[in-house]
Structure 1
Amino acid sequence: MSLNPWIGLAISVLTLPLLFTLVDMVGSVRARNARADYAPPTPVEDFEVLVPIYGSVRYLENVDFLRTYGSRVLLCTTTTETDEFNRELDAIAQANGFRVFRGEVSRPSEGRSGKRQTGGTIRDRVVRDALEWVRAEWVVCLDADTTTVRPLSELVGALAVRKLDLASIRLVPMNTRRLLGRIQAHEYRLAMQLRRVVPWLVSGACHAARTEAHRQIMRRHSLFFQGNDVELGILANALGYRVGHVPFEVPTIVPDNFKPWWRQRLAWAGGEVRLYIVNFRFARRHPLVWAYGAATVLLAPLRWITAAELVNDLGCTMSTAVLGVVMLAYLLLAFYVHWNTRDSVIWLMPLYGAVSSLLISPLGILWYVKMARADRNAGIIRPRRPHRAQEPAQSGTQRL
């Protein structure tokens, strides 16, 4: 075996898992030193809830949960929906005391095919415009299928007592009976630990903010769908807002079948290309996160070359031994990181990581190009993006 493939093996197969594990270790150490318990603060009721919903009313799965908040709920949709959609949404709003905001978009929303959107600018556009209607001091943004165990007033109270302008929360996968769901539960747990160190990794499924801060951030948002949540945190930091993590647990459903998981991860990979490559200039603000993100994408060719060399040399005792050492090291690091939640699926983590690094990450470049061309939007993050505050038109919202 020549020298170059050996160097490639060390960098692309071993170094990246080590780097990923080191990042997780930092999060774990910080998490142990920080207060792990969540003491509910004094609830704050001065908030409104924004829920984007378009394409199909059947995506609105959290009506029972939202009913508690009544008129504080603002369902955010578009002016291009079908008559059937509008009738159904108005009926739900009237029955539960919700309000409806209809924002103008350049083209009809999609999503009637039965698939949730993984691209486009509609979601962030209607949220941006709906924020001009919010008069409460605080705002909580929820996906149309997101619920929480504890009341949202506690989440808002945590922001108020800590004087935060924007906060990330903890997502907890609930459907963990299938293999793919179990693996993602471990993946999510590490990602949530990392938010103790990098709180600006905001989740689109649920986040809370001071209304004026959120309004100013969204006026500068690129409106690129994939990575739109993390862009919130990046812009908040760049604009000088105070961003923190609140260990407020929010249940979530992860794709536990291969096809929807594959579709989601390709879209996420495109978002990572957008964040870590297209917007590489933010690496000076967040060097560790950008180093890992950029390396995951840029080292893809080296990983393929290494994999090909290993396949060609499997008959070589030394090559097989090196592969065994690398796999053992990966497993040991995986079991170390997941030690507190030991699970037999940890044995599959090297395979799960290989699929992500060898297949999904390289395809992320193609998916980014596809999304950017479709929306004519490169997703460039510009904290100084020129903006003009829009005065809400009275016809834009209905108070039902």
Structure 2
Amino acid sequence: MTPVSWSVFALSFLIIPVIWVLIDRSPTLVAAFGGRKPAVGPAVEDFEVLVPIYGSVTYLENVQYLRQYGDRVLLCTTNGESPEFYRELAAIADQYGFRIFRAAAVAGGIGADGKRATSGAARDMLVREALEHQVRAPYVVCIDADSITDQPFGVLVGMLAANGYDFASVPLVPTNTRSVLARLQAYEYRSAMKLRLIAPWQVSGACHVARAEAHREVMRRHSLFFQGNDVEAGLLAKALGYRVGHLPFAVRTAVPDTLKSWYRQRLAWSGGEFRLFVMNLHLLARHPFFWIYGAIVTTVGLPFRWITLATGGWALLAIFTLHAIATVIVHWRVRSPMLALLPLYSLFNSLVMTPLGAVWYVRMAIADRNAGFIRTARPRVPATA
């Protein structure tokens, strides 16, 4: 081969993949060693807790945890549930002093398979309607029906107030980590939570905290597209000029522990990522690094990754070596033999779930007649607490 041919070969099959890995892992590496420690203030008890629940009362798994908050808990449900569901929910509310908000404008949130829908507007409409018509406290905590915390919510709200934040993300910690699949997700979650140190707007629907007025303004502008709905809320809060931060307040949540449930969740998540990173490229100017990573590296770079995998050789070895080194560095404190499988787990997500996510996004958008476009208003500086 001529020198030119060797240069083309090296650029196509070695240099580009190596750069790809460095770009892929750099946010996690930077986040692992950075971040400002938030202030801790006195507990604030003037808040309400929103818990979306529909489909089946059995989804409400954190009842015993929520009982400590009594009438500050607002169980938010749709207007399309069965009489049996309403009776069971009312019995729980009566026993523990919870309140129930039945949104007349929300018809239901159950998919054709009888399970809670992985698309649709039900969940976000419930939160929006509750904020508009029921919430009167100055602060609000949104939490899923299967999540719990180690510390009381008063501590979380106090931290929000002490740091002058209007909207905040929190770290999620998987609780069920006995299976191999669940343990791999635990490492995945740990990396994702570290990224929030430098991108706090990546809030999670499993739990987040906000000033009620800020959350109300955000939901008034929300697209109501379910997948990626939580990150959209954080993006809108940031675009509206609210102060968005990340608070070290651990929230324990369950992760899928079977291949079927994991695949169902990740297929929907991949569709949400395609919606955020590709269909909302106009947000590139606000968060260029993350949107270049999501739209260019992850999506546009997909054919290059497949080519590299097919050709094998030194390029593939270099990729796995760099990926393994970065993985061990990030997870050094909690290292285990399971880390050897993490590059393969990430590879499957990258090569298989990314293209499937694009297809799933189209399916969700057509079914819900909602493309999920995020329309940001002109930035402003609202009054803080």
CA contact (8 A) 1:55 1:111 kept: no
Where does residue 305 of structure 1 map in the other structure?
A: 307
| Structure 1 runs, 4 residues or longer, greater than 4 Å off | 1-6, 111-114
RMSD: 2.0
SS of 1:248's equivalent?
Answer: coil
SS of 1:118's equivalent?
Answer: coil
- The number of residues matched between the two structures is 372
Q: Deviations over 1:292-350 (max 9, x none)?
A: 1112022222322333333xxxxxxxxx3443233222222222222222111111122
The farther-off stretch of 329-338 and 51-60 is 329-338
Residue 119 of structure 1, CA deviation: 1.0
Where does residue 267 of structure 2 map in the other structure?
A: 266
Where does residue 186 of structure 1 map in the other structure?
A: 187
Where does residue 383 of structure 2 map in the other structure?
A: none
2: CA distance, partners of 1:142 / 1:354: 31
CA contact (8 A) 1:56 1:112 kept: no
Residue 261 of structure 1, CA deviation: 1.2
- Judged with a 3 Å threshold, the aligned counterparts in structure 2 of structure 1 residues 80 and 126 are, in CA distance, closer, same or farther, namely same
CA contact (8 A) 1:119 1:225 kept: yes
Instruction: Read off the aligned partner of 2:79 and give its amino acid letter.
Output: T
2: CA distance, partners of 1:76 / 1:11: 52
Where does residue 289 of structure 2 map in the other structure?
A: 288
Residue 8 of structure 1, CA deviation: 4.0
Where does residue 324 of structure 1 map in the other structure?
A: 317
1: CA distance, partners of 2:246 / 2:204: 11
Task: Note the 1:110-149 alignment, pairs <5 A.
Answer: 110=110, 113=113, 115-132=115-132, 133-149=134-150
Residue 115 of structure 1, CA deviation: 3.4
The unaligned stretches of length 5 or more in structure 1 are 311-319, 386-400
Match of 1:340 among 333, 338, 350: 333
Where does residue 108 of structure 1 map in the other structure?
A: 108
Residue 7 of structure 1, CA deviation: 3.7
Where does residue 382 of structure 2 map in the other structure?
A: none
Where does residue 13 of structure 2 map in the other structure?
A: 9
2: CA distance, partners of 1:273 / 1:105: 29
Using the size of structure 1 for normalisation, the TM-score is 0.88
Where does residue 165 of structure 2 map in the other structure?
A: 164
Residue 46 of structure 1, CA deviation: 0.4
CA contact (8 A) 1:199 1:243 kept: yes
The unaligned stretches of length 5 or more in structure 2 are 379-385
Where does residue 394 of structure 1 map in the other structure?
A: none
Task: Note the 1:1-400 alignment, pairs <5 A.
Answer: 7-10=11-14, 13-31=17-35, 34-35=36-37, 41-105=41-105, 107-110=107-110, 113=113, 115-132=115-132, 133-294=134-295, 295-310=297-312, 320-384=313-377
The farther-off stretch of 38-47 and 345-354 is 38-47
1: CA distance, partners of 2:87 / 2:127: 21
Instruction: Read off the aligned partner of 1:371 and give its amino acid letter.
Output: M
Q: Deviations over 1:189-235 (max 9, x none)?
A: 11111111111110100001000000010000000101100001100
1: CA distance, partners of 2:69 / 2:346: 41
Using the size of structure 2 for normalisation, the TM-score is 0.91
SS of 1:45's equivalent?
Answer: coil
2: CA distance, partners of 1:156 / 1:259: 36
Instruction: Read off the aligned partner of 1:190 and give its amino acid letter.
Output: S
- Judged with a 3 Å threshold, the aligned counterparts in structure 2 of structure 1 residues 180 and 115 are, in CA distance, closer, same or farther, namely same
Residue 39 of structure 1, CA deviation: 7.5
The farther-off stretch of 257-266 and 325-334 is 325-334
Q: Deviations over 1:144-202 (max 9, x none)?
A: 11111110010001011111100100101122222112211111111111111111110
2: CA distance, partners of 1:116 / 1:355: 26
Q: Deviations over 1:26-68 (max 9, x none)?
A: 111214xx33xx8753111100001001111111111111111
